Amino acid sequence: MTIKSLLIEIRLFPKWRLITGIILSAILSVVSLFLIKNAVVGYINSSVVGSGMVTEFVNLFGKRRVYNILYSPWSVFLKQVSFFIVFMFYFFLFYRHEKSRLFLKSLNQLITDIKKYVSIPSTVFEPVYQDRNLLQLTESINMIFSKMDTLIEEERKAQRTKNELITNVSHDLRTPLTSILGYLSLITEDKYRDEVELRHYIDIAYEKSTLLHRLIQDLFEYTRVQNHQLKVIKEPLNIKEMLGQLVEHYRIELEQKQYICNETYSSEQLITEADGNLLIRVFENLMSNALKYGIRKKQIDISAFLKNNNIVVEVTSYGNQISAIDLQHIFERFYQVDKSRGLHTESSGLGLAIAKSIVEIHEGKIQVMSDEEKTVFSVYLKRFIHIDSV
């Protein structure tokens, strides 16, 4: 312990107790030195050995020299040093006592606050304790309780998420299943006029079954992504080639719906380290949404370029504007923009949530911007630099 830290601790003592400690230490020092002096003088006067030693000392040095020694400045200095040593001894005892008292007081206060936290979890421990060790203990307890609060809140959030998931899944599974059962009951009960109506009922049941299958697949995929059960195999992936293959895959559907797809790629190498089978799902979802909701202008723009050493892929469609409120929740599971764009009820509401999770697995991010003219989904990915190109 340094003198500076000692002085800091002494300042924490109540002033009246500190003054009392100094006065008591001084009084006890005077009394102690007086008693020691009388004890020594009494021993010399009553003991033959003691008186003999004094007589021999006087005969050795002479009475005058002994007198000069007893009443010299050195004798006064020795008395002052003796007083200081005894004073510091008693003041140290006082310091230890006060420190122990403050430690116990602070410890009791800490125990009281902990008990208060048990009944009132919102209690915050303020690090105002006098002892340095208690201060560190208080900070550690604050960190522990803060972590506990976080874990409790995460557990509650997980429970709410599970309940919401069960509710949403139950609703979304029940809707197509009810329709399937309805049309199949009409078929089994022969409630159709002719073969044409029978075929119509079968087509509707098949369409709803396909929707149900897609919903279950999306749900299973979302659960695997959220629980980190996907096996991710990352390797260098050429973004330009992947997007070119994606557009080629949608070529027939684009022609059938009379859409134009414009591709714009920068001249630099756009290589990222990713699992191609997973990452392609992100852009398939964005492409499908662009085909579904680009109702104002049958055009889709796909661009890829470098920005701050990151690869940015933008998929632009021209449909109704997504409101600011919807934009905040668009990547949440089961969220659908029903007010302005919800003309397609076959969506599971999981596509963008899965896309966001896949992008985050690749340490990237996905954003969306929408105005009256267009809606732009932007995917940011880390650029992979070949050793040969460095």
State how far the Cα of 214 lies from the Cα of 194, in Å rounded to an integer. 31
How many folded domains does the chain comprise?
A: 3
Structure confidence at residue 339 as a pLDDT band (50, 70, 90)? very low
Residue 347, Cβ density class (10 Å: 0-12 exposed, 13-18 middle, ≥19 buried): buried
What pLDDT score was predicted for residue 2? Answer: 65
Higher pLDDT, 302 or 74: 302
* Residue 378 and residue 335 share a domain: yes
* Residue 363 and residue 331 share a domain: yes
- CA dist 250 → 222, 259, 287, 348 (Å): 24, 10, 8, 20
* Residue 48 and residue 177 share a domain: no
Would the pLDDT of 338 be above 90?
A: no
CA angle at residue 55 from 52 to 56, to 5 degrees?
A: 85
* Residue 358 and residue 248 share a domain: yes
* Residue 111 and residue 19 share a domain: yes
257 neighbors 294 (Cβ within 8 angstroms)? no
Q: Considering the domain boundaries, does residue 135 fall inside one? A: no
What pLDDT score was predicted for residue 119? Answer: 66
- CATH number for position 167: 1.10.287.130
Mean per-residue pLDDT over the chain, rounded: 79
CA angle at residue 64 from 63 to 69, to 5 degrees?
A: 100
Do strands 375-382 and 310-318 pair parallel, antiparallel, or not at all (unpaired)? antiparallel
What pLDDT score was predicted for residue 238? Answer: 93
Structure confidence at residue 4 as a pLDDT band (50, 70, 90)? low
* Residue 117 and residue 208 share a domain: no
* Residue 178 and residue 78 share a domain: no
* Residue 32 and residue 12 share a domain: yes
Residue that terminates a domain, selected from 203, 226, 249: 226
- CATH number for position 307: 3.30.565.10
Q: Considering the domain boundaries, does residue 171 fall inside one? A: yes
What pLDDT score was predicted for residue 346? Answer: 53
Residue 230, Cβ density class (10 Å: 0-12 exposed, 13-18 middle, ≥19 buried): middle
State how far the Cα of 29 lies from the Cα of 17, in Å rounded to an integer. 18
* Residue 245 and residue 216 share a domain: no
Q: Which domain holds residue 179?
A: 159-226
* Residue 221 and residue 254 share a domain: no
Enumerate the H helices of the chain as residue ranges: 3-11, 15-46, 48-61, 63-70, 73-119, 132-188, 195-226, 239-249, 251-256, 276-293, 324-329, 351-361
Do strands 260-265 and 297-307 pair parallel, antiparallel, or not at all (unpaired)? parallel
Lookup: tokens for 267: 């001249």
Would the pLDDT of 159 be above 50?
A: yes
* Residue 356 and residue 247 share a domain: yes
Structure confidence at residue 262 as a pLDDT band (50, 70, 90)? very high
* Residue 355 and residue 296 share a domain: yes
Residue 364's identity, in one-letter code, is G
Residue 321 DSSP symbol: P
Q: Considering the domain boundaries, does residue 341 fall inside one? A: yes
Residue 304 dihedral angles phi and psi, to the nearest 5°: -145, 135
As a whole-number percent, the residues of the chain with pLDDT over 90 amount to 15
pLDDT tens digit sequence for 199-229: 888 988 888 888 788 777 767 776 777 666 6
Q: Taken in order 292, 293, 296, 302, is the CA torsion positive or negative? A: negative
Q: Considering the domain boundaries, does residue 145 fall inside one? A: no
Q: Could you tell me which residues come within 8 angstroms of residue 326 by beta carbon, excluding any fewer than 6 positions away?
A: 335, 337, 339
Q: Considering the domain boundaries, does residue 152 fall inside one? A: no
